Structure 1
Amino acid sequence: MPLQVLSRSQGDFFLRGLTSDPPQRSDGRHLLAFRALDVDTGVAAQANGSSRITLGGTEIFCGIKAEVRSFGDDSDDEDEEAEFQTQDELELASESRKTGRIKCSVDYSQSLVHSFDSKVLESLSIALSSMVNSTFSPRSCPLPLHQLLIIANAKHWTIYIDLLVNSLSGGNLFDTAFAAIFSAFYDTRVPVTRGVAFEAPATLDASGNAVEGAFANAQGDLDQMGIKGLLKKKPKSSASGPSRKGAGAGTNSKVVDFELEHSGEDGATLDGRQDLPLCITVNILPNSYLLDANVDEEACVGSRVQVLATRTSKVLSVRTEGAEEISFKRVSEAIRIGSVQAARLADALLGQLANSAGLDDEDEAPQAAQASMDVDA
C-alpha cells in the first residue's frame, strides 16, 4: 500500500521518467540501485540489542529485549495451539514449547500523522508486524530457537522486537525495517545462564549406615532434612546458545532453577545472526523492475513483489502486493532479482557492522568490495 496518492498527471509524470530510455529517477540512481544505508547500533542502553537505520528520509529504530518466561505464561499460547489442526501440526506445536519465542510489535511516531493518512500508517504497521512475526514464528524462524531454552519444559527466553518508525519521507518501509532488525540482532547479547540442580545428601539409618537421599529414612540426621539439607549442584551441559550451560542436558540431576553467569555486554551473541533474512521490495514496471523506491515512485507503481532472502540467496518467503496482476514469469524474475540483492545487502550490512564492532572474522566481515552499500544488479 503506497504512503500517498498521486493525481493521474503526477503518476504519469513519474512513470514516464522510470520507463524512458535511459530511465530517469529524481536522484539519478539506476533502477536497481539502493540508496546508502546509515547504520547505528547500541542506540538504546536498556535493550539487549538496538539499531537505527536511515534510508533516504526513512528512519527506523529497532530495540530487542530478552525476557525470561515460563512455558504457558505467554498469553497467545492457547491461540497458537488452536491454529494447529492436523496431527503433524499438533506435534509441531508441542515441539515449539521446547524452544524460545520471538515476537514483534510495530509503532510509528505521532509526527507522521501530520504527513500521512493515519489509516494508511495503521495498515502498514499491521502488515509489517504480521510479516515479521510470521518470519520468526516457531515453524519458520531462521534463528535456532533451541538456543533460547533455559530449563527444558520450564523456562525460556522470549525475544521482543520493537520497531519504531520515526520517519517515512524516504519510502521503502519494509526493506528498511528488516535491515534494522538484522542490525539489531547483530548487536544483541543474551545473558548466559547456568542450570541449578538439587541433590539430597546421604543420611544415616538406625544402624548408622549411609542411605542416599535426605528423606530415605525418618531416623536419619534431622539436621539434613528439608531444603537446607540439599546440596546445590551446577550440572554441565552440552547444549549450545546463551543458555548452553543451563539446560542440564545429559545429567542425572534435574535442573529446577537457573542463575545468570554473564549478562549485559558479557552475554552471548545469537547463533545464526548473520543468516537472518532481508526484505527486498521489487516494484514491477511495464518492461523492467525498480528497487528501493521513494515515496513518489511507490505511488506510481501498481504492483510489487516482496522477497525475503538470506545472504546465501536462500528465499524464505514471497509476498505480492498491488491491484495489477503479475504474471508467473515476472514474479519469478522478481524473486531472482530480490534474492541477489538481499545477498549483496546482507554482505554490505555485515561489513559495516563488523567494522564498527572492530571484528576481523572472515565470515562476518566481507571484503571491502562486497561491503559496499551500492547494490546495483
Structure 2
Amino acid sequence: MAPTTTLSQSESSYIVSSLSLPTPIRTDGRSLLDYRSFSLSTGVAPQANGSARVLLGGVGGTEIVTAIRLEVLDRSVGLGKEEGSSVGGRPDVVCSVECSSTAFPYLDPKAVDKLSDHLTTLLQHTIPPLLPPLPITPSLSFHYTIDSLILSSSAGNLTDTLFLSVRSALHDLKVPRTRNVAYEAVLKSEEGENDMAGIKGAAMGAKKDLRGGEKVARGAEFEVEDYWDEGDLLALDVRENLPVCVTLNLLSNSTHFLDASLAESLACPTHLLLFVTGKGNLAGMRFIGQETTSIQQMKELIEAGKSYAANMIAGTNLKLKDPSTATAGGMMGGLGFFGS
C-alpha cells in the first residue's frame, strides 16, 4: 500500500472488522501474532565502531541503519542527573534518530522532526542505563554516540525495527583496546619557580622530587593498541541483555496483534510499547492512544509482551551469531554520513 497519513472511514472499518473476526484476516495472510520476515546485516558503516541495518518486510519495507561511534572526551563518566535536567541520564551516552528525505514524503518537515524527537526520547530513556561505562584513564573515557537513520518507513512498525537496529549495532560494537602511558618531566626554573608562583607546574601536576628537591610534572595519557576496525566486543551478558521493543496493537475487543503494517497502525491507533531486556525485565513502557484498559488487562498484556520479546531476542541472537550476518568491508551504498 502506498504511504498515506490517513485512511478513509471505510478502509479503517474494513481493517478493524477483519482483525476482530473469530478467525482474523490480515491482508498478507499472517496470524495476529506473526511477525514479517526481516533481514539483518552488521558492519554496514565502515567508519563506525559498530553498525547494523535492519530491513522489515522485504525490499521497499521499513529500513533503518544504526551506527555507533566511540568518542574520547575529557570528562569523567557519571550516572547522575545532568545539570539542568529533571530526568536521570547518562552524559556518556547520546542517542539520535534522523529521517531521510525519502522516508516520510507524505509528512511535513515539522511532523518529521516531531517523530524524530519522539523516537530519540524512547532510545535515550531506555538504552543508556543498560550500557557499561568505558573509562580509559581517571579523566578520559569513551562516550557512546548512537545515530539511527530511517531510510524507509513503508512497512510500518518503526519502533520495533529501530530498537532491533540499535541492539544489533551494539552487538557489533568493538571497543578499541588502550594502553595507559605515564610520563614525567623535570620543570626548569623558568617553567616552575618563575611561572606565576608555580601555576603552570600546578596545572601539570608538579610535585617535589624527594631525590633532588626539583619540581617534577607527572601525567597520564593513553594510546590505542588496535586498528580502527579492531577491538573487544561488549561483555556477552551485556550484549544479550540489550532490550527489544514489542509493540502490542490493541483492538476494542480486548485482543491485540503484533507487527502492524502501516495501514493497520493507522486503523488501530492504540498501542502499548514494551521495552524488554534479554533477562526478561521490563525496561520501560509507553501507552499511545485514547483507548483505556484495566489494570488486570495491562498486567496480562505485559506478561504476553515479555513472552513475545523472549522469542524475538532468541531469534535475533541466532542471526547475530551467524557469520554471514556480518558485511565484509562495510556496505557503502546509500548510507550518507554513516558510510563516511
TM category, shorter: 0.7 to 0.9
Aligned to 1:246: none
Aligned to 1:124: 115
Q: Write out per-residue CA displacement over residues 76-115 of structure 1, whole angstroms, 9 at most, x where no aligned residue.
A: x998223369xxx8xxx8xx6xxx7111111111013423
CA contact (8 A) 1:31 1:291 kept: yes
1:50 alignment partner AA: S
Aligned residue for 1:340, secondary structure, equals helix
Provide TM-score, normalisation by structure 2.
Answer: 0.79
Aligned to 1:183: 168
- After superposition, residues 164-203 of structure 1 pair within 5 angstroms as 164-198=149-183
CA contact (8 A) 1:318 1:335 kept: no
Find the aligned partners of 1:60 and 1:329 in 2 and give their Cα distance.
Answer: 35
Aligned residue for 2:82, secondary structure, equals helix
Among 92, 108, 118, which residue is 2:99 paired with?
Answer: 108
**Is 1:259 equivalent to 2:223 in the alignment?**
yes
The structural deviation recorded for 1:255 is 6.4
Aligned to 2:84: 82
Q: Write out per-residue CA displacement over residues 179-238 of structure 1, whole angstroms, 9 at most, x where no aligned residue.
A: 00011111110111122223679xxxxxxxxxx9746425x8xxxx866xxxxxxxxxxx
Find the aligned partners of 2:77 and 2:132 in 1 and give their Cα distance.
Answer: 21
Aligned to 2:269: 302
Moved more, 161-170 or 2-11: 2-11
Find the aligned partners of 1:66 and 1:47 in 2 and give their Cα distance.
Answer: 8
Q: Give % identity.
A: 33
Aligned to 1:149: 135
Aligned to 1:209: none
Provide TM-score, normalisation by structure 1.
Answer: 0.72
CA contact (8 A) 2:42 2:325 kept: no
- After superposition, residues 356-375 of structure 1 pair within 5 angstroms as 356=323
The structural deviation recorded for 1:123 is 2.1
Find the aligned partners of 2:55 and 2:216 in 1 and give their Cα distance.
Answer: 59
CA gap of 1:266–1:357, structure 2 versus 1, over 3 A, is farther
Moved more, 349-358 or 42-51: 349-358
The structural deviation recorded for 1:44 is 0.7
Aligned to 1:18: 19
**Is 1:217 equivalent to 2:212 in the alignment?**
yes
The structural deviation recorded for 1:263 is 3.8
**Is 1:292 equivalent to 2:292 in the alignment?**
no
RMSD: 3.0
Moved more, 276-285 or 105-114: 105-114
Q: Which runs of 5+ in 2 are unaligned?
A: 187-206, 327-340
CA contact (8 A) 1:303 1:321 kept: yes
CA contact (8 A) 1:307 1:315 kept: yes
Find the aligned partners of 1:358 and 1:183 in 2 and give their Cα distance.
Answer: 10
* Alignment coverage as a number of residue pairs: 298
Q: Write out per-residue CA displacement over residues 123-158 of structure 1, whole angstroms, 9 at most, x where no aligned residue.
A: 221111001011134xxx11222xx11112x11111
Aligned residue for 2:102, secondary structure, equals helix
Among 49, 59, 63, which residue is 2:63 paired with?
Answer: 59
1:116 alignment partner AA: L
1:283 alignment partner AA: N
TM superposition outliers: structure 1 runs of 4+ over 4 Å: 212-216
Aligned residue for 1:197, secondary structure, equals strand
CA gap of 1:255–1:34, structure 2 versus 1, over 3 A, is farther
1:70 alignment partner AA: D
Find the aligned partners of 1:297 and 1:265 in 2 and give their Cα distance.
Answer: 41
- After superposition, residues 322-361 of structure 1 pair within 5 angstroms as 322-356=289-323
The structural deviation recorded for 1:325 is 1.8
CA contact (8 A) 2:41 2:325 kept: no
Aligned residue for 1:276, secondary structure, equals coil
Q: Which runs of 5+ in 1 are unaligned?
A: 202-211, 228-253, 360-377
The structural deviation recorded for 1:329 is 2.2
